[in-house]
Structure 1
């Protein structure tokens, strides 16, 4: 929908959010094409939440030009229980 909206001067808000696209056992070539298609979306904000567990995903990310994306690494766990020992 975003691509069509961009091509036809539509009214898509220009924001996409993907949650764990790699969890569906996507093959590396498809993951690379997915990343490259996102990069081609001009005037859009795309957020991809992904757990990088395997070397294939790391390799796909490393092939991207670093000036085309902003990688934010979240060490350990992104969420933790309130009142946990780690807060003290």
Structure 2
């Protein structure tokens, strides 16, 4: 599952996660979870913490506003060791 997928359809992402951990959720539970842990709710919970700056906008592709081309290339280089694993090494935006 990718962040982009969850942003596109958050309730569906919750259902997929529940299936992955072999947990059945009712539709009401899915909707309650979606309300409780959506980006805005999570950002509000982090406001008073020292790590609050880590929760920025919740927008797909916002990394382009924070990383230089060189930093992005370095992250790509470092993620090369994930090739052949279950993790994707690159997300096309």
Say whether the fold is shared (TM-score over 0.5). Answer: no
Question: Which has the larger share of strand?
Answer: 1
In the superposition, the TM-score normalised over structure 2's length comes to: 0.27
In the superposition, the TM-score normalised over structure 1's length comes to: 0.28
Higher RCO (Cα < 8 Å, 6 or more apart): 1
